[in-house]
Structure 1
Amino acid sequence: MSSSEESSEPTSSPPASPEASDQVEPPSLERLVTHFVQSKRALNANAALFRAGELVTASRGLLEDIAILNARNGFAKRSAAEQVETLHAIRDEITEAGDEAVLEFKMTVAAIDEAHGRLERTLETLRHTMVDASLQRTEDSAEKDEADERGQGESESNAREEDSSAQKTLYDFIQESTHTELEASLRGLVDEFAVVKDLFDHDTRQYDDRLQSITDKLHHNDITSSSGPQDKPTLYDEPPPTVPQLFRSLESHAAEMATLFSSLIKHYDLCVTALKHTEGGGEAARLAIQAEHLATTTTTTTTTTTTPQPDAEESLYRKTHPEPISASDRTQMLQILESDAAEVPDVLTDIHAHAAELYEQHDQLLQHTTAARTLHHRQQKILDSLHAMHAALLPQHLEASATFREASQTIHQTIKAKTQALIELRIFYDDFAASYAKVLREVERRQAARKQMRRVAQKAQRELDRLFEADGVAREEFLRVVGGCLPRDLWPGVGEVGGRWVVEMEEGGGGVAL
């Protein structure tokens, strides 16, 4: 609104146009009363000003609450982040140790598979190595078989068929339970490790799930706190104002409202002054106020504006005499009043617009406060979860990790020992298979020796038989020559038959006795 300005006395020259004549023509009493009633009604905007003052005071308290909550939330966030980082580091160390144990176990299983594969190949060799039937017979039975071979034809083939049907393999001469029990024991150890690993994995999943839940909550809090009270900001949205910016803007709107209301008070005072200097103005104003059901007094209190004097309106209704003013001053006052009266609706609109902005910004501060309190509540729940995790889940996880390491080491050492036993058993079976070749060579050697001894024995037997026959012929010739004249009692054994020598195999040791 414009302020009062000094003006010179109006000249006596006639108006140049109807518009100019309207400008200099003073307003009527009815128009002045209308301006007065509108100005008095406009002073009802003091309620918005009171509310603005309350909101500024409340917002200052909200600003302090937000600062305290943000400080607490920042500390809680840093503390939670450090604890989560520590828990992640512990998890990584335990997981790495578990992975090393699993890798070591896989290498051990690979060694088991290799040892088992070699053993199976050795056992397959034993299964397919037929034992020579001659190994199941003694040398005496071998001699008889050789005699049978020389004297029998069809019976020979029948005997061989019976021998081949009863023929065994090298596998029949090992104790099968030795390696089967060892393999079953190894499979049991592998299954035992799988059970221990499942228990450790179950505990690790529980630990990871709880830790991931806390990490997700921290991440959600970061997103929520960074986005502010806006729900879904887009790429094209301007960055939301900060809390200090909101409070400064709120104070600015309140100050602007006070300034605008001050101009309304000045306009009201000007209306009262104009009515005082108009004949019948007080009575007309009183009747208009009664018709409008307005209060008879108006009290306005602000920290930045002046208040109209209560006596000003009361003096308007009474028979009081205002201070005299010149005609030019009255004309200028009325012109200013007319100009200000036209601006009253705009001023009221501006006051309500500033009030609406102020309310909106106060609501945003409330949203910030609510968000900070909600964030603080969530941060406290996260800290409580971390405390519970430190108190229960972390010791349980550490104990499960220690149990897994001890069990895996014990199982690993036992498997190594049994795998070594499997390797030694395979070596023993390999030596057994290799010895069988030596046995066959020994059999061939013994058969050759027996045949050689048989030939020598047969040759000796033939020579002994020849000597025996020659001895008999000589004995008969001797008796023929001297037998008639030789007394019997001179040599009682003269007529005896000579002793017959026989070469035969010695019983038991397999040697040859004469």
Structure 2
Amino acid sequence: MAASSAACSSAGSLKRSDDHQQKPPSIPIDTLVNHLLVAKRSLSSMNHVLRANELATSARLSHQEALLLGAQTAFVRNSMLDQVTILTRVRGSLQCTYEWGKRDFKKLVKAMDEVDTELTGTMDMLRDTQVQSTLQPSDRKGLTLLDFVDETSVHDMREAMKRSIQDLQGIQVSFDGDLLRFETDIRNLRKTLSAAPLPAMDEDTQPATVSLLLQMEDHSATMASLLASLTTHFDMCVTAIRTTEGAAALARRRVAEGTQSQGSEEVSISGVIAEQESHMSDLEPKTADDQAEMLKVVVQDAKEVDDVVFEIQDHLANMEQEYTVVQKHLSRTKASYTSILESFTMLGEIGDRLGDYLAAEEDFKQRWELEKEAVFGKLEEMREMRKFYEGYASAHGSLVLEVERRRAVDERVQSIWRKAQESVDKILEADRASRETFRQDVGEYLPTDLWAGIQGPARKWTVVQITDDESAAASVDRTPAQGSAIADGASKVTLN
């Protein structure tokens, strides 16, 4: 739209990308009034401009909020990733302790197997070693060294070792459960972080969002400029109506009719006309040429009013689309922020349980050391037991030699006593002959009551084996026994 020649310095025409000039025809008053009414309706585009300003302001605030939330989300996310790394290292340390326990358990089981194998070999040796027949009771034959051993202690020791193994396995299972729960916590935390949408903070998204904001600012500025052109066109229409004879009255009547049918009007034409009448407008034509030029501009601009209105609407539609993109970006950022807060809450819960996991490791070590010490004690008992049974088997061999030695001693003693008996018998035989000769020579001269033993038989001597109790009794009562033996004419020699 173009202004009149009198006001060309202060007003311009409606501007569009396809703006062109057309020569206006002569204008009837009715047509001029119609142009005024159309110009009046076009001013309703002011709502679009206000909406555009609202969208631009809201988009700018949304972008600022998205930047703030994105920065906070990125910071918390990076911090949480560091915490996950630390938790993973702690979990690895606990796993090392668990693996150490498994290796130590294998060593303990191997040591148990070795000691048990040695003890089993010793017991088998006792089972295979027959007791010498001379040592066995007459009513029991085929006895082995194992028959004189109480195997209950061996079985009890093996059962105790089995219980120790079960206790060690129970300690491992308990600690393994804690490790599994810790691993599950870390895995769930990682899954939550992976599922959380990333904040749109990359190098491609930010320039695109800023570009949208700049475009919306351009749209808003363009719409304001177009609205200013529509306002200028309306003012020129009012001036043309006011300066054209009879046009003002017709315009008021047409406006009144429209107001009755459509309701209250946003812009009062009568008010604008009255205001221009009281205050000289810059658009006021000074001469008839100015009036003709103004009417020409009004006619030209009237052809472009609808296009300008459509262009404003098109700019607003573009802004609505761009605003939707900005809001989606903000929504994604908020979703990412909310998700990262949920993950942070989960991290806090894991942190509360971390002390329990560390305490479980310490408890595992303490219980393991106590049980291992008990196992070492049982292993030492099994070694002592095996050592005792091996000593028992070795003592059996010494017992056989001792029995043989004592038998040889008995045989030597018996041989000596047999020889002594033979010598005694010879002496006694000589004594008997001497007694008989004495009795024949002088017996008839001696009275029998002179010596009671004058006619008594010779003493008899015999050697017998007695027990330890009989030997002790004989040593205590030897004198009376000897007196009795003399009285009986016999003596006993004990063989210990």
Could you say which TM-score interval applies, normalised by the shorter chain?
A: 0.5 to 0.7
Mapped to 2, the partners of 1:5 and 1:111 lie a distance apart of 114
2:136 equivalent to 1:136: yes
Equivalent residue, structure 1, for 2:19: none
Equivalent residue, structure 2, for 1:104: 104
Amino acid at match of 1:311: V
Mapped to 2, the partners of 1:504 and 1:438 lie a distance apart of 29
Report the Cα offset of residue 107 of structure 1.
1.3
Deviations 1:156-192 (A, max 9, x none): xxx7xx543xx43222222323323333333333333
2:354 equivalent to 1:354: no
Q: Is the 8 A contact 1:112 1:419 kept in 2?
A: yes
Q: Is the 8 A contact 2:161 2:378 kept in 1?
A: yes
Q: Is the 8 A contact 2:209 2:326 kept in 1?
A: no
Report the Cα offset of residue 422 of structure 1.
1.0
Q: Is the 8 A contact 1:214 1:385 kept in 2?
A: no
2:111 equivalent to 1:121: no
Deviations 1:311-346 (A, max 9, x none): 368659xxx985433698468536633541462453
Q: Is the 8 A contact 2:193 2:340 kept in 1?
A: no
Mapped to 2, the partners of 1:381 and 1:3 lie a distance apart of 66
Task: Give the 3 Å change call, closer, same or farther, for CA 437–37 of structure 1 in structure 2.
Answer: farther
Task: Give the 3 Å change call, closer, same or farther, for CA 310–431 of structure 1 in structure 2.
Answer: farther
Runs of at least 5 residues in structure 1 that lack an aligned partner in the other structure: 7-21, 138-158, 229-237, 300-307
* SS at 1:226 equivalent: coil
Amino acid at match of 1:251: E
Deviations 1:219-265 (A, max 9, x none): 44xx413368xxxxxxxxx9687654443343233223323433433
Mapped to 2, the partners of 1:479 and 1:76 lie a distance apart of 135
2:218 equivalent to 1:252: yes
Amino acid at match of 1:62: S
Q: Is the 8 A contact 1:505 1:513 kept in 2?
A: yes
Deviations 1:411-455 (A, max 9, x none): 2122112212212322332343354455556666777x4897599
Report the Cα offset of residue 72 of structure 1.
3.7
Equivalent residue, structure 2, for 1:235: none
Equivalent residue, structure 2, for 1:12: none
How do 1:411-490 and structure 2 match up within 5 A? 411-437=371-397, 439=399, 449=408, 464=422
Equivalent residue, structure 1, for 2:39: 39
Q: TM-score, normalised by structure 1?
A: 0.65
Task: Give the 3 Å change call, closer, same or farther, for CA 63–327 of structure 1 in structure 2.
Answer: closer
2:132 equivalent to 1:176: no
Stretch deviating more after TM superposition (283-292 or 46-55): 283-292
Mapped to 1, the partners of 2:343 and 2:246 lie a distance apart of 72
Mapped to 2, the partners of 1:252 and 1:51 lie a distance apart of 14
Amino acid at match of 1:170: L
* SS at 2:289 equivalent: coil
Deviations 1:356-415 (A, max 9, x none): 2254245336525643663574366356536xx35xx33333333323222211221221
Task: Give the 3 Å change call, closer, same or farther, for CA 38–440 of structure 1 in structure 2.
Answer: farther
Stretch deviating more after TM superposition (200-209 or 22-31): 22-31
Task: Give the 3 Å change call, closer, same or farther, for CA 422–87 of structure 1 in structure 2.
Answer: same
Mapped to 2, the partners of 1:134 and 1:309 lie a distance apart of 151
Amino acid at match of 2:307: E
Equivalent residue, structure 2, for 1:403: 363
Among 250, 261, 267, the residue aligned to 2:227: 261
Among 275, 289, 308, the residue aligned to 2:255: 289
Deviations 1:253-306 (A, max 9, x none): 32233234334334444544665676654444444434443665639xxxxxxx
Report the Cα offset of residue 111 of structure 1.
1.0
Stretch deviating more after TM superposition (47-56 or 373-382): 373-382
Report the Cα offset of residue 33 of structure 1.
4.2
RMSD over aligned Cα, in angstroms?
A: 5.1
Q: Is the 8 A contact 1:253 1:357 kept in 2?
A: no
Mapped to 2, the partners of 1:262 and 1:4 lie a distance apart of 13
Residues matched between the structures, number: 441
Task: Give the 3 Å change call, closer, same or farther, for CA 383–64 of structure 1 in structure 2.
Answer: farther
Equivalent residue, structure 2, for 1:225: 198
Equivalent residue, structure 2, for 1:374: 338
Q: Is the 8 A contact 1:131 1:168 kept in 2?
A: yes
Q: Is the 8 A contact 2:23 2:296 kept in 1?
A: no
Task: Give the 3 Å change call, closer, same or farther, for CA 329–182 of structure 1 in structure 2.
Answer: same
Q: Is the 8 A contact 1:66 1:369 kept in 2?
A: yes
Amino acid at match of 2:161: L
Mapped to 2, the partners of 1:50 and 1:264 lie a distance apart of 15
Q: Is the 8 A contact 2:233 2:301 kept in 1?
A: yes
Task: Give the 3 Å change call, closer, same or farther, for CA 31–178 of structure 1 in structure 2.
Answer: same
Among 285, 289, 296, the residue aligned to 1:325: 289
Equivalent residue, structure 2, for 1:148: none
Task: Give the 3 Å change call, closer, same or farther, for CA 68–379 of structure 1 in structure 2.
Answer: farther
2:354 equivalent to 1:385: no
Amino acid at match of 2:321: E
Runs of at least 5 residues in structure 2 that lack an aligned partner in the other structure: 6-21, 470-493
Equivalent residue, structure 1, for 2:166: 191
The percentage of aligned residue pairs carrying the same residue is 22
Q: Is the 8 A contact 1:260 1:351 kept in 2?
A: no
Report the Cα offset of residue 41 of structure 1.
1.9
Mapped to 2, the partners of 1:479 and 1:64 lie a distance apart of 153
Task: Give the 3 Å change call, closer, same or farther, for CA 376–91 of structure 1 in structure 2.
Answer: closer
Q: Is the 8 A contact 1:254 1:354 kept in 2?
A: no
Among 298, 303, 307, the residue aligned to 2:267: 298
Q: Is the 8 A contact 1:261 1:351 kept in 2?
A: no
Q: Is the 8 A contact 1:115 1:419 kept in 2?
A: yes
Task: Give the 3 Å change call, closer, same or farther, for CA 192–439 of structure 1 in structure 2.
Answer: same
Task: Give the 3 Å change call, closer, same or farther, for CA 5–112 of structure 1 in structure 2.
Answer: farther
Q: Is the 8 A contact 2:55 2:320 kept in 1?
A: no
